[in-house]
């Protein structure tokens, strides 16, 4: 049986906001979620805006603490992931914030150095990513001079640089042209072939349907569906099922 890479039990994340002079209202970004993701899965995380997807990804990656519940990632449940566990995770955020003053080559070299790659391994890894994502034409440009699509490819390269066991991608194809999206899909599939695990959050349902075997759908922090994507689409298209589950 394949190892469980992510295990989520009774996960809650809430915020308190003022509701009056002496009162507060508790808002649940995530409300009692239970699911797991196995090694080698390409897992789709779906939901409308504000459903809690990014909050869930931030908790899995260790950037945010949950309010309650258990989240075990790569066997660890300590909340903010220890250094060695973080080295096994790659994360592309939706915001894709990158340092403008560096070239992409400098940024990738800096990150590879942090992850402990020697000069030979750094060159090999960066060269491989440059080929896979077609970075060569702009790898020596400063990030501030890149187009939106090139910046997205730069962010993807940063997420892949440490050859992670768990790759988390939040809206990865934003600003990518069809060729870039195709190359990314091929790269994600190659990760699965290596027995690695990928979580994709995306509004582009056709991409999720093509890549993912398992999927979860959130609505206002609640889990509306979790399971095999083929089961979800058995009564019609994925889009129809998604709309039915997330529309009031």
Six token digits for residue 168: 């988390």
How many helices (H) and strands (E) would you count in the chain? 9, 9
DSSP-derived secondary structure for 131-160: HHHT-TTTTTSBGGGS-HHHHHHHHHHHHH
pLDDT in tens, the chain (248 residues): 788 999 999 999 998 887 777 777 888 899 999 999 999 999 999 999 999 999 999 999 988 999 999 999 987 765 555 555 668 999 999 988 899 999 999 999 999 999 989 999 999 999 999 999 999 999 999 999 999 999 999 999 999 999 999 999 999 999 999 989 999 999 999 988 999 999 999 999 988 999 999 999 999 999 999 999 888 766 678 888 899 999 98
Sheet of 68-73: strands edge to edge? 24-38, 4-18, 68-73
Predicted TM-score (pTM) of this structure: 0.92
Q: How far apart are CA 62 and CA 81, in angstroms?
A: 5
Structural domains in the chain? 1-88+211-248 (3.40.50.300)
Locate the DSSP E strands across 78-152: 89-92
Identify the pLDDT of residue 85.
Answer: 61
- In tens, the pLDDT along 140-172 reads 999 999 999 999 999 999 999 999 999 999 999
Return the pLDDT at 25. 80
């Amino acid at each position: 049986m394949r190892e469980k890479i992510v295990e989520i039990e009774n996960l809650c994340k809430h915020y308190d906001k003022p509701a009056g002079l002496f009162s507060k209202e508790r808002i649940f970004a995530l409300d009692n979620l239970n699911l797991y993701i196995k090694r080698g899965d390409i897992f789709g995380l779906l939901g409308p805006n504000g459903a809690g997807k990014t909050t869930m990804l931030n908790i899995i990656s260790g950037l945010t603490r949950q309010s309650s519940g258990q989240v075990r990632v790569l066997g660890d449940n300590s909340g903010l992931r220890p250094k060695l566990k973080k080295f096994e995770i790659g994360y592309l955020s939706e915001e894709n914030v990158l340092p403008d003053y560096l070239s992409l080559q400098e940024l990738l070299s800096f990150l590879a150095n942090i992850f402990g790659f020697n000069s030979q391994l750094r060159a090999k890894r960066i060269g491989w990513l440059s080929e896979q994502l077609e970075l060569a034409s702009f790898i020596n440009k400063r990030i501030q001079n890149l187009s939106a699509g090139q910046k997205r490819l730069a962010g993807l390269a940063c997420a892949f640089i440490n050859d992670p066991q768990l790759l988390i991608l939040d809206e990865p194809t934003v600003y990518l042209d069809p060729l870039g999206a195709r190359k990314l899909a091929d790269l994600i599939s190659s990760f699965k072939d290596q027995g690695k695990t990928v979580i994709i959050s995306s509004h582009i349902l056709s991409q999720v349907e093509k890549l993912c075997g398992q999927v979860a759908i959130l609505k206002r922090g609640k889990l509306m569906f979790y399971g095999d994507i083929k089961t979800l689409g058995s009564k019609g298209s994925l889009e129809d099922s998604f709309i039915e589950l997330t529309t009031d």
